[in-house]
Amino acid sequence: MSGQDHGDDGVSRRKVLECMTWAGTGVLWTVTGGVPRSLGIIDSAEAATAAAPGMSFLQISDSHVGFDKPANPNALGTLEEAVNKINAVPAKPSFMIHTGDITHLSKAAEFDNAERIISQTKLDVHYVPGEHDFIDEEVKLYRERYSRGTKGYGWYSFDAGGVHFIGLVNVVDLKAGGLGNLGAEQLAWLEDDLRGKSKSTPIVLFAHIPLWTVYPQWGWGTEDGGRALEYVKGFGSVTVLNGHIHQVMQKVEGNVTFHTARSTAFPQPAPGAAPSPGPMKVEDAKLRSMLGVASISFKQNEQRLAIIDTPLQG
């Protein structure tokens, strides 16, 4: 497939750009043969489900349960709003992934509160940890809850709807001056996990910190992420889903689509737009337009994967 416009799915470059200005407020993105195409602005997740039937799953990220600072004094409350939004979608997704920072300070009560709210979706949830989930003294609370049947600090893979999903941990053993870190043991496991897989198997890699370098000055990247991407290079459809940066960002490189999800707790500034990546205080009326969840749909045999970011409001 080549060219900008062809067939019924074709959209003009102008249309794509027009849609990009709406990115994050409910745009249906599809990827065909590695080229991202916006199919137009949609009103809600319901419309998205109708537009792209087939296997779909949700991504939720950075719930930071326990956070109570000015940027959002009630992070548990906005997580609950996100869950209500998920429950309102008529077509039930297959499952959900949570890309880390479930809690703010790895306290038992924070994990318990998160579980109490997230379980109301009645969905299977596949977690990977964020750095905020590993800061209890013994680094055991996350692992006791979510690491059963996983390797190392909690990496694993599973298959669903013909897609191979791989959850990675890149928040452990970080080196001074560096970025996120996967480590040799996990990379060896990843290489082994992918060995023998048909190159036509769609791959979804998910981890907390972006596996691609978004903004190293703020630590937004993974030191050895490039090595993980080497292993998936030959596959026809690769989607990389991350959190950590509390904003929607997307990039396509060959057959690989990179995407980051919003937080349900607080927004963070665009790269370099503030003195630090810390929580960004916005007007109360604006907060919920900067928080949200993502829905990802996949159509078999079309190498098409659509990501819809839905804010809590707006």
Would you tell me which residues interact with another protein (CB under 8 A)?
Answer: 69-71, 104-106, 131-132, 135, 137, 174-179, 216-219, 275-279
Q: Least distance (Å) from another protein to the CB of residue 241?
A: 22
Give residues with Cβ within 8 angstroms of 260, minimum separation 6: 210, 214, 241, 242, 243, 244, 245, 247, 248, 249, 250
Rounded Cα gap, residues 79 and 65, in angstroms: 8
Q: Least distance (Å) from another protein to the CB of residue 178?
A: 5
| DSSP element (H, E) containing 160 | strand 156-160
Judged by beta carbon, residue 136 or residue 302, the one nearer another protein is 136
Which two three-digit tokens encode residue 291?
């928080």
Judged by beta carbon, residue 26 or residue 279, the one nearer another protein is 279
Q: Least distance (Å) from another protein to the CB of residue 278?
A: 5
- Give the SS3 label for residue 19: helix
Rounded Cα gap, residues 123 and 137, in angstroms: 30
Q: Are 287 and 74 in contact (CB under 8 A)?
A: no
Judged by beta carbon, residue 148 or residue 175, the one nearer another protein is 175
Judged by beta carbon, residue 242 or residue 255, the one nearer another protein is 242
Judged by beta carbon, residue 42 or residue 71, the one nearer another protein is 71
Q: Least distance (Å) from another protein to the CB of residue 110?
A: 12
Q: Least distance (Å) from another protein to the CB of residue 88?
A: 31
